[in-house]
Structure 1
Amino acid sequence: MNPEDKTGWTPLPHSDEDLGRAKAVPDTPQTRAPAYRLAWDDEDFMTRRELRPVRLQLELLKPDMLLSERGIRSTVVLFGGARIPEPGGDAWAAKNETQKKNLLANAKYYDEARRFARLCSEESAKTYYREFVVVTGGGPGVMEAGNRGANDVGAPTIGLNIVLPHEQAPNEYVTPELCFNFHYFAIRKMHFVMRAKAVAIFPGGFGTMDEMFETLTLIQTGRMERVPVLLFGKEFWSKAVNIDYLVEQGTVSPGDENIIDFVDTAEEAWKIIQDFYNLA
């Protein structure tokens, strides 16, 4: 038995062996027909609508298996806007002067995200990068800042990209072996929280709010253990989402607002995580 084979000995051929054999058969009308292809090697078959449950399972399995093989047990998640530029950068997403002004003002959160990711990654190094590994959506803006901060201190960092109608290539700071691509938003969001020991949320738009409220709902309903949920920029979030108003209206229970901690700096956020987990 191959010592690197973790599946154990079997008298039956492995799928990769049969895949090679199938490709080596003589070229005939029969072997060229789509029906002859092994099912998992048939792209047309695997993308049929009836195979959606199988694809959902594969998107859940693949990243989980690769992260487990890497020994990654926990993560710190950074959510935030793709449109937030680096300080001194271009507000490429602005549609008018007001948006340009505001995006450039919010560029400070790029620096905070980058510094916060550095702090997380320095702690991660103490565990040989098994705990507190930085994960982002893998795109530009705040996501880039998070991956970049980890990269600054030589730490591995995860990117969970998704196929969008407009091209979104992974940012250059994601560790290539930990750069994943998704078709299903739901499975991608599962992977964000499956190992999360903390969730940091920076200013962003609908996507960031979707990710934020999914996390809050899971914690509020007891479907996820309590972890620090850190909202960077109290001024921004108090205008974008009025949690106190929801409490006043009775649509959120008193005390649920305490799931959230508002912070303005990376150091504030990291101190909350340190206190929560009794880190030295």
Structure 2
Amino acid sequence: MTEEEKRLSRRFYKAEQEAGFVEKHATRTAQTQSASYKLAFRDTEFLLREELRPVRFQLELLKTEMLLDEAGIGSTLVCYGSARIPAPEKVEERIAAATTPEEKAIAERLAANARYYDEARKLARIASQCAIVEKGMRQFVICSGGGPSIMEAANRGASEVGAETIGLNIVLPHEQAPNPYVTPRLAFQFHYFALRKMHFLLRARAVAVFPGGFGTFDEFFELLTLIQTGKMKPIPILLFGAEFWNRVVNFEALVEEGVVNRRDLELFTPVETAEDAWEHITGYYGIDCFPKFAE
């Protein structure tokens, strides 16, 4: 059925048409100015009521899902990581800004992990240059939390080779805006962490986990739990930075204490470079594409 046939077969007006009728024929009376008279789907105050939380959940699920589908996004390569690790070119500035010995020590530790900014950027460039398309849908589209640092690096790498890239931002009490490398039409903002994390994984075909804090831990361990419990099919999980992760998480102790099985440690693959990560991904899926990274 053509779009014209669909239009002619409709028995009821679309919501946007009805809203247009309201604007066209609006009269200012005490009744029409009352909040109760607003169309429910155009009444922001009503939609923000506590009782409407289930509806808002549904909206956050549907909006991103529909727009990514319309954009032809078949799958993603998700990059998790810190919002605090500086880009290599900003390392000296960060250290110079430290005013106490403790701040300087922290700045130096962050600086030591700055190389992972480059690795995230490089991985995004490699995956994006492959431009893999299956059944008319783009695969391994770079997706990050849309913020600074490692997230910025991933979006930046894809953008630098002319590829579209996704950012899933979250509303926070302090300022939180998309980094400039996120493709505008693929920049999303979430109220609910749960829905944001769901969208990270709905299309994920591989996940790269870089050094990070509580947010990265939350995302990483939820992913491990979903696969460990069989709620999600296995996908490549590339864990960047063995020195960092072995220092902050004692995986062997978890096995020794009997709270996880040794085979659970096989759910992720430690890597140090973008090339190693992409080689693992392509080997997992039988893909033959390994473009050279141009500095």
Q: TM-score range by the shorter chain?
A: over 0.9
CA distance in structure 1 between the partners assigned to 2:109 and 2:241 by the alignment: 13
**How far does residue 192 in structure 1 lie from its aligned partner after superposition?**
0.3
Counterparts in 2 of 1:83 and 1:198: CA distance versus 1, 3 Å: same
CA contact (8 A) 1:129 1:155 kept: no
Q: 2:104 aligns with which of 97, 104, 107?
A: 97
CA distance in structure 2 between the partners assigned to 1:75 and 1:190 by the alignment: 13
1:210 to 2:218 alignment: yes
Q: Deviations over 1:94-132 (max 9, x none)?
A: 771111111111111100000001111122355576100
CA distance in structure 1 between the partners assigned to 2:159 and 2:179 by the alignment: 12
**Which residue in the other structure is 2:229 paired with?**
221
**Which residue in the other structure is 2:66 paired with?**
65
Q: 2:243 aligns with which of 235, 247, 270?
A: 235
**Which residue in the other structure is 1:167 paired with?**
175
Q: Deviations over 1:20-49 (max 9, x none)?
A: 112231111111110010001001000000
**How far does residue 147 in structure 1 lie from its aligned partner after superposition?**
0.3
What letter matches 2:13 in structure 1? P
CA distance in structure 2 between the partners assigned to 1:268 and 1:172 by the alignment: 28
Summarize the alignment of residues 1-280 of structure 1 with structure 2, pairs less than 5 Å apart: 3=3, 9-24=9-24, 25-89=26-90, 90-91=93-94, 96-125=103-132, 130-280=138-288
**How far does residue 9 in structure 1 lie from its aligned partner after superposition?**
3.7
Counterparts in 2 of 1:174 and 1:9: CA distance versus 1, 3 Å: farther
**How far does residue 8 in structure 1 lie from its aligned partner after superposition?**
8.6
Q: Deviations over 1:140-188 (max 9, x none)?
A: 0000000000001101100000100101110000000000000000000
Counterparts in 2 of 1:141 and 1:6: CA distance versus 1, 3 Å: farther
CA contact (8 A) 1:125 1:155 kept: no
Counterparts in 2 of 1:125 and 1:278: CA distance versus 1, 3 Å: closer
Counterparts in 2 of 1:261 and 1:6: CA distance versus 1, 3 Å: farther
Counterparts in 2 of 1:23 and 1:162: CA distance versus 1, 3 Å: same
Give the % identical residues.
Answer: 54
TM-score normalised according to structure 1 size: 0.95
CA distance in structure 2 between the partners assigned to 1:5 and 1:239 by the alignment: 64
After TM superposition, the runs of 4+ consecutive aligned structure 1 residues lying more than 4 A away are 4-8, 92-95, 125-129
Q: Deviations over 1:65-85 (max 9, x none)?
A: 011111111100000001011
What letter matches 1:10 in structure 2? R
CA distance in structure 1 between the partners assigned to 2:4 and 2:50 by the alignment: 36
What letter matches 2:165 in structure 1? T
What letter matches 2:22 in structure 1? A
What letter matches 1:277 in structure 2? Y
CA distance in structure 2 between the partners assigned to 1:4 and 1:142 by the alignment: 47
CA distance in structure 1 between the partners assigned to 2:271 and 2:248 by the alignment: 15
* Other structure's SS at 2:65 match: helix
Q: Which 10-residue stretch deviates more, 52-61 or 5-14?
A: 5-14
What letter matches 2:94 in structure 1? A
Counterparts in 2 of 1:8 and 1:61: CA distance versus 1, 3 Å: farther
CA distance in structure 2 between the partners assigned to 1:4 and 1:178 by the alignment: 29
CA contact (8 A) 1:129 1:156 kept: no
What letter matches 1:204 in structure 2? G
Structure 1 alignment gaps of length 5 or more: none
Number of aligned residue pairs: give it: 280
Structure 2 alignment gaps of length 5 or more: 289-295
TM-score normalised according to structure 2 size: 0.90
